[in-house]
Structure 1
Amino acid sequence: MSTSSRGPIFDGRAQRVANAFVNRYERNLAEEGLNILRGEMHRVFRNPTGYYESRCKVIEGHIISDSRVVYGPWLAGVGSRNFPVTKFKGYDHWLVTRDRLNARKRGIGERLLRQYTGRM
């Protein structure tokens, strides 16, 4: 009895498809997270100017960033000028975004994986 070493696992196709899946999954998570974040900003900000929201974007394909806006930590409640220095304790937009994205990530991955398994 002999074995064959041909096919997607042996010629590298499966690895390329797996890498493409991971890249797309990370981008989808980041984009979903950005959508959640923007929704949370609309929910909690009392006097939005639109500048902070416009600076929030996906960078490097998988990172959600506020472009290091100087008052970003203050809005999130982790800045040096938050409570007890001032009454403002910050908003929970980043924390809620994290929690909601964590709750959705499995479903996002499962739906996406169906598109890639046939190519392996």
Structure 2
Amino acid sequence: MSIDITMRGPLFDGRAARAADRACDDARDDVAAYAEERVLMGTAASFKTRTPYYETRVTTERVSGDVSLVHDQGVIYGPWLEGVGSRNAPVTRFAGYRFWRAAKQAVAARGPQIAEAAVQRHLPEMGG
């Protein structure tokens, strides 16, 4: 007596692994885009007279395979706008807008849901 076992499908031919990689990439990209959007929403709400320079400097950069970084490209007055600069408390009364902090809190709260949605989009490719 002999038994022939044939293994086929997304798990065995590599499609599931590739779809999982795409899901991780999409989750990272979606969370980073949400973070950038929240920062720009904060600047729009905070700045009375909007000039495009600072807002055009807010960007998302893929630092490594697993990490995307949302930053203001090192704009010199960025820490002052946020309220963490050395000149905020001792020199001026300006406490900062804190839009980066607000964006970080929003991402911490909504990030898992955003990542879950990205994974859900790829589940059919994974055979799930």
1:2 Cα deviation after fit: 6.8
The aligned residue for residue 88 of structure 2 is 82
Q: For 1:31-110, list aligned pairs within 5 A.
A: 31-60=33-62, 62-110=68-116
SS at match of 1:64: strand
TM-score (norm. length: structure 2): 0.81
1:49 Cα deviation after fit: 1.9
Q: How many residues align?
A: 120
CA distance in structure 2 between the aligned counterparts of 1:10 and 1:81, rounded to whole angstroms:
59
Does 1 or 2 have the higher relative contact order (CA < 8 Å, sep 6+)?
A: 2
Residue deviations 1:56-113 (CA, integer Å, cap 9, x gap): 0111283211011111111111112121232222111001111112222222223222
TM-score (norm. length: structure 1): 0.86
The aligned residue for residue 115 of structure 1 is 121
Retained in 1: the 8 A contact 2:24–2:119? no
CA distance in structure 2 between the aligned counterparts of 1:87 and 1:114, rounded to whole angstroms:
47
CA distance in structure 2 between the aligned counterparts of 1:40 and 1:111, rounded to whole angstroms:
24
**Match for residue 11 of structure 2 among 9, 12, 27:** 9
Identity score, percent = 35
Q: Which amino acid aligns with 2:40?
A: R
SS at match of 1:118: helix
Q: Which runs of 5+ in 1 are unaligned?
A: none
Q: Which has the larger radius of gyration?
A: 2
Q: Which amino acid aligns with 1:42?
A: A
SS at match of 1:83: helix
